[in-house]
Homo-oligomer: A and B are copies of this chain.
Amino acid sequence: MKDIILIGSGNVATHLGNSLKKRGFNIVQVWSKHINNAKILANRLDCESTSSIKQLKKADLYILAVKDDAINQIISQLKDITIVHTSGSIDIEVFNHRVSNYGVFYPLQTFNKNVDLDLSKTPICIEANNKKFENKLMNIARELSRNVIQLDSESRRALHIAAVFACNFSNHMYTISEKILSESNLDFRLLLPLINQTVTKLKDHNPSEIQTGPAKRNDKQLIDSHIIGIKDAKFKELYTLISNSIISHNE
């Protein structure tokens, strides 16, 4: 499985394409519905580009790395090829037995095209419709990462929900901090040592063990004074609900 075609040109396709090429795979072609996007990535990967599903070339493996809501529509146009999608939340059965070898190749990571990333530590979660293809996918994944696991669709969905809390929602907590600080003309970067220390502790401790703060101590007086101090009504509501969640978790 050396010849690979990328269906998609976004964050995931870009990082996977770069890493696969570095590991000696041959990227044959990049598809995007926007030909310019296909060209940009194809240029980086020194391969062909297209915006037509009908003009897809032959390859050993097609990697479908597009937005979740485009997956169905693209699959419906495909002939019998060997294919994986890269989504954390779409069931493997989306391929609906239209093809003989299908699976999932889900890198558990937050991708931005222009932020460098070392995929070697990124867990890659593999699922396939048959054992032989699963083994092939595991081998490809192991070329990219030291952390490859087999995971069925139900577990992958739980993992994806957990990742939304751990990554997207924690980042929103930082965004709220940034907003509160900017109202007092304070720089968000003041918080970086604190944020780094919180994350560093996770290496050796479960998050539930290292919880600190007023809600952990059930310090109702301080919680109330904070709520009074918050100007934005939505942030007040979030402060209250998350504090209550911490309190009830520690009861």
- Binding stretch for chain B, among A31-39, A55-63, A158-166: A158-166
B-chain residues with CB within 8 Å of residue A160 when the two chains form the complex: 226
Question: Which of these, B149, B181, B194, B196, contacts A158 with CB under 8 Å?
Answer: B181
Chain B nearest Cβ from A9, distance in angstroms: 17
Asked if residues B172 and A184 are in contact (CB atoms below 8 Å), the reply is: no
Asked if residues A191 and B166 are in contact (CB atoms below 8 Å), the reply is: yes
Q: Which residue of B lies closest to A199 (CB)?
A: B199
Asked if residues B213 and A195 are in contact (CB atoms below 8 Å), the reply is: no
B-chain residues with CB within 8 Å of residue A215 when the two chains form the complex: 168, 172
Interface of chain A residues 163 through 177 with chain B (CB within 8 A): 163-177
Interface size on A, residues (CB 8 A): 93
How does the 8 Å CB contact mask read for A225-251 relative to B, with 1 for contact and 0 for none?
110011000110111011011101100
Residue A73 interfacial (CB < 8 Å): no
How does the 8 Å CB contact mask read for A144-156 relative to B, with 1 for contact and 0 for none?
0001010000110
Bound together, the chains give a CA A216 to CA B112 distance in angstroms of 13
B-chain residues with CB within 8 Å of residue A198 when the two chains form the complex: 110, 167, 170-171
Residue A77 interfacial (CB < 8 Å): no
Asked if residues B68 and A175 are in contact (CB atoms below 8 Å), the reply is: no
Question: Which of these, B188, B197, B230, B238, contacts A206 with CB under 8 Å?
Answer: B188
Given contacts A206-B178, A221-B69, contact A168 B238 (CB under 8 A): no
Q: Which residue of B lies closest to A166 (CB)?
A: B177
B-chain residues with CB within 8 Å of residue A69 when the two chains form the complex: 219, 221
How does the 8 Å CB contact mask read for A173-208 relative to B, with 1 for contact and 0 for none?
111111111011110101111111111011111111
Name A's B-contacting residues (CB within 8 A): 67-69, 89, 108-112, 115, 117, 121-123, 147, 149, 154-155, 157-181, 183-186, 188, 190-199, 201-208, 210-217, 219, 221-222, 225-226, 229-230, 234-235, 237-239, 241-242, 244-246, 248-249
